[in-house]
Amino acid sequence: MLSAFKDFISPLDTEVFYREYWEQKEAFIGSSDNARFQHYFKPTDFESVLTNRTLQWGQIQLANHNPAESWENLTNLPISYSTLKKAINQGDSIIINNLQSFWVPLARLCRSLERIFDFTVNANLYVTPPKSQGLSPHFDEQDVFVMQIAGEKTWNIYNNDYQLPLDINLEWLQQDHNHIKSRYALKPGDLLYIPRGVPHDAFSHDSTSIHITLAVSTVRWLGLINELLITAAENDIDLRKGIPIGFLNKDPNLLIHTLRERLERSLANMSVERVFERYADKLISRMYLFPRTSNLFSDDCAKPINLSSRVQQSETAYFFVQRSENSVTLKYPEGALTGPFEIEEAFQFISNNRDYCIGELPDSVDDETKVIIIERLVAENVLEIL
């Protein structure tokens, strides 16, 4: 998994990236290999997406920062090749969201990054006609990696004194954007990392530009603390009560004392493990199911499985082991497998090992149970028989 990310941002060292760039500043990673990202998506794949996939407005969007007087809103028309061709001709950028939900090479890349970051990762496709700009200066609420697939696009990075904003900074958006901090001209094979909250815009050159943005939905400490408080409130009715009526006219010191008292009590009694379980539940529920590539009627699941059979985690695999009061559950985006506490060691083994023989599973479960567990996970496409 780590090697996949290492290759993705090469030649920039991963430790240098985490230490000097992640959440701090943009990183431009140039490449002399124009086809560097084409095993994920080629320029000709755009036609395949349009002809082989039924898309709805919302998943596909149009954007035009500088529309001409004759510009027409085409989203009132049915999506068709002719509609999108007309959009390109009038300078609209075409955006296809969540491409990883049906494009297998990008699904593999997104899932490999999800395994590393433990954050959801989505892939959005942008097709911009020559000498055009789709979006006005803005910043994203996700950390993004821009992969240039075809054509060239220049990216302006603007100054913003407020780092890692919690939401859209309306004050910044209303300013004149003449304070460009840096500028990058991306060619096919180039990669640009932009932290969330860093303002930017981009415009194409003399040919159509195609790029893919990988959006990493980073979880803030604030989000985790919020989960802590929600978890505490589930078991403390005082936290679920309203603050005093007319509180603005009461002694603020009394309110501060009450608030501090309740927070201290909650911190003393809260279950940090439960907070991480809640986060894992949300993370897995938000992950897109991996697009199926195997034939529904194939006989893969009919292959004989025994203790000497060797299996590996499939490219869909993302596991989390969760303990409850009466059982333990192995969770993954495609489903879950629940059993008694005695099975927890086996679940942890499955989660932590990429490939193994079934007989290598811990002896806390008997041989028959080992085979049954693996058969279930193979049927759900999260393990594969080697």
- Give the pLDDT confidence of 59-95 residue by residue, as tens digits: 999 999 989 999 999 999 999 889 999 999 999 999 9
Is residue 145 packed enough to be buried (19+ CB in 10 Å), middle (13-18) or exposed (0-12)? buried
**Alpha-carbon span 322 to 121, nearest angstrom:** 22
CB 125 within 8 A of CB 41: yes
pLDDT at 345: 95
- CATH 1.10.10.10 assigned to domain 2-216? The reply is no
- Does the pLDDT at position 366 exceed 70? yes
Q: Which of 160, 134, 157, 129 is nearest to 144 (CA)?
A: 157
- Does the pLDDT at position 295 exceed 80? no
- Paired tokens of 116: 């590393």
Residue 3 — pLDDT band, cuts 50, 70, 90?
A: low
> Count of H helices and E strands in the chain?
12, 16
pLDDT at 224: 86
Residue 204 forms beta bridges with which residues? 153
pTM (2 d.p.): 0.86
Q: What are phi and psi of 270, to 5 degrees?
A: -75, 155
CB 61 within 8 A of CB 99: no
Q: What integer best gives the mean pLDDT of the chain?
A: 89
Q: What are phi and psi of 332, to 5 degrees?
A: -160, 160
Spell 267-276 as b/e; 16+ CB within 10 A means b. Answer: eeebeeebbe
**Alpha-carbon span 104 to 237, nearest angstrom:** 47
The DSSP annotation for 294-358 comes to S-TT-SGGGS---TT-EEEE-TT---EEEE-SS-EEEEETTEEEEE-GGGHHHHHHHHH-SEEEG
Query: What are the C-alpha distances in Å from 187 to residues 67, 155, 181?
Result: 25, 11, 20
Residue 365 — pLDDT band, cuts 50, 70, 90?
A: very high
The residue extents of the domains of the chain are 2-216, 221-284, 300-385
Per CATH, 2-216 and 300-385 having the same topology is answered: no
pLDDT at 236: 86
**Interval 14-42: pLDDT, tens:** 999 999 999 999 999 999 999 999 999 99
- CATH 2.40.50.140 assigned to domain 300-385? The reply is no
**Interval 93-149: pLDDT, tens:** 999 999 999 999 999 999 999 989 999 999 999 999 999 999 988 889 999 999 999
